[in-house]
């Protein structure tokens, strides 16, 4: 019988996780169970070309190599940091002295444009930008259980990517075993799902989590601002601490291809292992809920030590399936953040509760540091934002593996979300109930209720 195990646990503690992710019998994703079906659903129409969700084999190896060669080409452009810096400057130039905004939806167009320019070496037209941002927003909403896949814009973006790749200079990446048409299709699908879905979402959240944590910790914020010539070390530690507290992957899974023992744990063929990044990143860490970037500074008294910093902290995964974009996403996020921190003061409403999912984004008042706006205006904007802030959106939305049982309960009880207050509530509630019931029907059809 298939067992499902969540790690770290007593038999497979935090220190054993990294070697587990490297184990040759723990590299498969598996097919046909709820968790994986949901991931496939999120990535429509690229679900069959999705490197991250694929079992090891010839296609996975080809895509891994394609990713590596694409990223190598980006290297010549300073890994997107320069483009990110320029686009962030332009965004801030267009802001009022005091603006109320959502950090996630504000940074999304910047990151979409960075990836597009890295790929196609030109600026996006307005029409392209609107379409790609709409699709990236839909990917975000589906992943956060806020909506269902919008097929039309996704299909249009796919067609546009096919045309871009066809006209672009991608021939050196072609696979000799495929026709030109097949090569173009593979590259379009691969960049669609890897860069413009996953890559955009992750990079936006990476920057957003760090900026939000810094805005809520003024002492740390000032330290970053005063350390602009240290090669990014202080900012880098704040980014690590943000990833420790708010890991972008809540959970990943592995399916065991051959039984093996791992320390005190034993795994059987077909077992599903779920790794909870949040648990790994908090268990055993002193004052684990606090934002203390110096934990990662070997020269500081707050240093958490080599073992915690390496084995109990793997935001980008480990082993053969680790994230290939650690450096790329770090550079792009750093490019964005350096400009934002230099040019804006971000005020986060007091009632906003910062959690990993930031499902509704992060509401903020952005005040230009070079502007002479009266402080009253910023405070008024902040009070207004505070009044309509959804207090804790992590409770409105639910992590994927527990989604189906919740959906069943939630839909049948008419979405009794009475504990939430604020003026967004009617919209949130309405869209949740409409989308969730459609979503449920889709998932039921796809995954088969009761499989898990």
* Site of interaction with ligand HEM (CB under 6 A): 21, 51-52, 64, 67, 194-195, 198-199, 202-203, 206, 248-249, 252, 315-317, 321-325, 328-329
Q: How far is the CB of 236 from ligand HEM (least distance, A)?
A: 14
Q: Which is nearer to ligand HEM, 25 or 252 (CB)?
A: 252
Q: How far is the CB of 175 from ligand HEM (least distance, A)?
A: 17
Residue reference for tokens 């694929």: 54
Q: Which is nearer to ligand HEM, 157 or 323 (CB)?
A: 323
Do 256 and 268 form a contact (C-beta atoms < 8 A)? Answer: yes
Q: Which is nearer to ligand HEM, 282 or 377 (CB)?
A: 282
Rounded distance, CA 103 to CA 421, Å?
22
In this structure, are strands 98-102 and 363-368 parallel, antiparallel, or unpaired?
antiparallel
Q: Which is nearer to ligand HEM, 95 or 400 (CB)?
A: 400
Q: Which is nearer to ligand HEM, 295 or 331 (CB)?
A: 331
Q: How far is the CB of 183 from ligand HEM (least distance, A)?
A: 19
Q: Which is nearer to ligand HEM, 107 or 365 (CB)?
A: 107
Q: Which is nearer to ligand HEM, 71 or 406 (CB)?
A: 71
Q: What is the dihedral of CA 339, 80, 190, 196, to 10 degrees?
A: 20
Q: How far is the CB of 319 from ligand HEM (least distance, A)?
A: 7
CA distances from 126 to 94, 132, 301 (A): 16, 10, 50
Q: How far is the CB of 389 from ligand HEM (least distance, A)?
A: 25
Buried residues in 401-411 as b, exposed as e (16+ CB within 10 A): bebbeebeebb
Q: Which is nearer to ligand HEM, 66 or 378 (CB)?
A: 66
The SS3 of residue 369 is coil
Q: Is 1 exposed, middle or buried (0-12, 13-18, 19+ CB in 10 A)?
A: exposed
- Residue 381 tokens read as 């904007």
Q: Which is nearer to ligand HEM, 91 or 249 (CB)?
A: 249
Q: How far is the CB of 322 from ligand HEM (least distance, A)?
A: 6
Q: How far is the CB of 170 from ligand HEM (least distance, A)?
A: 16
Q: Is 24 exposed, middle or buried (0-12, 13-18, 19+ CB in 10 A)?
A: exposed
Q: What is the number of residues in the chain?
A: 452
Q: Residue 238: enclosing H or E segment and its boundaries?
A: helix 233-245
Do 80 and 112 form a contact (C-beta atoms < 8 A)? Answer: no
Q: Which is nearer to ligand HEM, 107 or 308 (CB)?
A: 107
Q: How far is the CB of 248 from ligand HEM (least distance, A)?
A: 4
Q: Which residues lie closer than 8 Å to 305 by C-beta, 6 or more apart?
A: none
- Residue 374 tokens read as 């009266």
Q: How far is the CB of 61 from ligand HEM (least distance, A)?
A: 9
Buried residues in 197-229 as b, exposed as e (16+ CB within 10 A): bbbbbbbbbbbbbbbbbbbbbeebbebbeeeee
- Residue 329 tokens read as 């996403």
CA distances from 347 to 14, 326, 344, 379 (A): 36, 28, 9, 9
Q: How far is the CB of 332 from ligand HEM (least distance, A)?
A: 7
Q: Is 390 exposed, middle or buried (0-12, 13-18, 19+ CB in 10 A)?
A: buried
In this structure, are strands 344-347 and 98-102 parallel, antiparallel, or unpaired?
unpaired
Q: How far is the CB of 12 from ligand HEM (least distance, A)?
A: 15
Q: Which is nearer to ligand HEM, 33 or 249 (CB)?
A: 249
């Amino acid at each position: 019988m298939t067992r499902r195990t969540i790690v770290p646990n007593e038999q497979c503690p935090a220190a054993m996780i990294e070697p587990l992710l490297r184990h040759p019998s723990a590299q498969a994703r598996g097919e046909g169970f709820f968790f994986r079906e949901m991931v496939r659903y999120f990535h429509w129409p690229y679900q069959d070309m999705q490197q991250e969700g694929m079992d090891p084999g010839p296609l996975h190896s080809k895509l891994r190599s394609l990713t590596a060669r694409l990223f190598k080409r980006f290297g010549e452009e300073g890994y997107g940091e320069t483009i990110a810096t320029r686009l962030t400057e332009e965004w801030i130039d267009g802001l009022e002295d005091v603006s109320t905004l959502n950090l996630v939806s504000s940074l999304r167009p910047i990151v979409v444009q960075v990836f597009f320019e890295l790929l196609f070496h030109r600026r996006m037209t307005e029409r392209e930008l609107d379409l790609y941002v709409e699709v990236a927003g839909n990917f975000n909403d589906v992943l956060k259980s806020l909506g269902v896949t919008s097929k039309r814009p996704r299909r249009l973006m796919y067609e546009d990517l096919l045309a871009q790749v066809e006209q672009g200079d991608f021939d050196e990446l072609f696979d000799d075993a495929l026709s030109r048409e097949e090569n173009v299709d593979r590259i379009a699908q691969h960049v669609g799902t890897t860069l413009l879905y996953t890559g955009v979402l992750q990079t936006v959240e990476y920057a957003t989590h760090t900026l939000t944590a810094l805005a809520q910790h003024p002492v740390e914020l000032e330290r970053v601002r005063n350390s602009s010539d240290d090669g990014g070390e202080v900012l880098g530690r704040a980014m690590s601490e943000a990833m420790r507290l708010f890991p972008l992957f809540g959970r990943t899974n592995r399916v065991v291809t051959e039984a093996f023992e791992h320390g005190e744990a034993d795994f059987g063929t077909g077992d599903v292992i779920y790794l909870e990044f949040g648990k790994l990143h908090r268990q055993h860490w002193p004052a684990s809920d606090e934002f203390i970037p110096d934990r990662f500074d070997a020269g500081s008294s707050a240093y958490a030590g080599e073992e915690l910093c390496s084995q109990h902290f793997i935001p980008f995964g480990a082993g053969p399936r680790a994230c290939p974009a650690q450096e790329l996403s770090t550079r792009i996020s750093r490019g964005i953040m350096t400009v934002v921190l230099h040019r804006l003061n971000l005020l986060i409403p007091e009632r906003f509760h910062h959690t990993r999912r930031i499902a509704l984004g992060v509401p903020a008042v952005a005040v230009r540091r070079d502007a002479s706006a009266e402080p009253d205006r910023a405070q008024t904007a902040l009070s207004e934002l505070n009044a309509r802030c959804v207090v804790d959106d992590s409770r409105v939305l639910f992590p994927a593996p527990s989604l189906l049982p919740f959906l069943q309960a939630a839909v049948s009880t008419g979405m009794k979300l009475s504990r939430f207050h604020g003026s967004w509530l009617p919209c949130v509630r309405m869209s949740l109930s409409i989308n969730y019931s459609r979503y449920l029907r889709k998932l039921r059809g796809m995954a088969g209720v009761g499989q898990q």
